[in-house]
Chain A
Amino acid sequence: MSPPPDPNEHPVSAPPELDPVIHAQARLRVVAALSALREGDRLAFPRLQEILGMTAGNLSVHLRKLEEAGYVTVTKTHSGRTPTTLLCLSRRGRLAFEEYTAAVRALLEPPQSTVDESTLEGS
Chain B
Amino acid sequence: MALAEGHDVTEDDDAAPPSAADTLRLIREQQDATERSLTPDARLIYWPWGLAWLIGFGLLFLRFGPHGRVYVHLPSWLPLTTLYVLMVVAFVVSGFAGARAAKQVRGQSARKGAMYGWSWFLAFAGFYALAARLSPYLPYEYNGLLWAAGSVGVVGAMYLAGGAVWNTRDLFVLGLWVTLVNIGGVIAGPGWHSLVIAIGAGGGLLVAGAVSRTGRTTR
**Contact surface of A with B, Cβ cutoff 8 Å:** 12-14, 18, 23-26, 28-29, 32-33, 35-44, 46-47, 50-55, 57-58, 62, 86, 88, 101, 104-105, 107-108, 120-123
> Contact at A62–B13, with CB atoms within 8 Å?
yes
Contacts of A12 in B (CB 8 A): 18-20
> Contact at A33–B34, with CB atoms within 8 Å?
yes
Give the interface residue-count category, chain B. 35 or more
Contacts of B104 in A (CB 8 A): 43-44, 46-47
Count, A-B residue pairs, CB within 8 A: 124
> Contact at B14–A29, with CB atoms within 8 Å?
no
A108 contact from B13, B24, B34, B107, Cβ within 8 A: B24
| B171 CB to nearest chain A CB (Å) | 16
Known interface pairs A23-B16, A25-B17, A36-B31. Does A104 touch B23 (Cβ–Cβ under 8 Å)? yes
Per-residue contact bits, chain B 147-184, to A (CB 8 Å; 1 contact, 0 not): 00000000000000000000000000000000000000
Whether a CB of chain A sits under 8 angstroms from the CB of B141 is: no
Whether a CB of chain A sits under 8 angstroms from the CB of B133 is: no
Best-surrounded residue of A40, A101, A120 (most CB of chain B within 10 A): A40
* Complex CA distance for A105 and B107, rounded to whole angstroms: 31
Which residue of A is nearest B26, CB measured? Answer: A28
Contacts of A35 in B (CB 8 A): 31
> Contact at B4–A53, with CB atoms within 8 Å?
yes
> Contact at B18–A41, with CB atoms within 8 Å?
no
A47 contact from B8, B18, B23, B105, Cβ within 8 A: B105
Contacts of A37 in B (CB 8 A): 34, 38, 105
Contacts of A25 in B (CB 8 A): 12-17, 26
Which residue of A is nearest B106, CB measured? Answer: A42
Whether a CB of chain A sits under 8 angstroms from the CB of B21 is: yes
Known interface pairs A41-B107, A44-B104. Does A101 touch B21 (Cβ–Cβ under 8 Å)? no
* Complex CA distance for A44 and B104, rounded to whole angstroms: 5
Which residue of A is nearest B107, CB measured? Answer: A41
Contacts of A57 in B (CB 8 A): 9
> Contact at A40–B23, with CB atoms within 8 Å?
no
> Contact at A41–B106, with CB atoms within 8 Å?
yes
* Complex CA distance for A79 and B190, rounded to whole angstroms: 51
Known interface pairs A108-B24, A121-B19. Does A41 touch B109 (Cβ–Cβ under 8 Å)? yes
* Complex CA distance for A11 and B73, rounded to whole angstroms: 78
> Contact at B24–A105, with CB atoms within 8 Å?
yes
Which residue of A is nearest B30, CB measured? Answer: A32
Known interface pairs A38-B109, A41-B107. Does A14 touch B19 (Cβ–Cβ under 8 Å)? no
A58 contact from B13, B16, B21, B27, Cβ within 8 A: B13
> Contact at A53–B3, with CB atoms within 8 Å?
yes
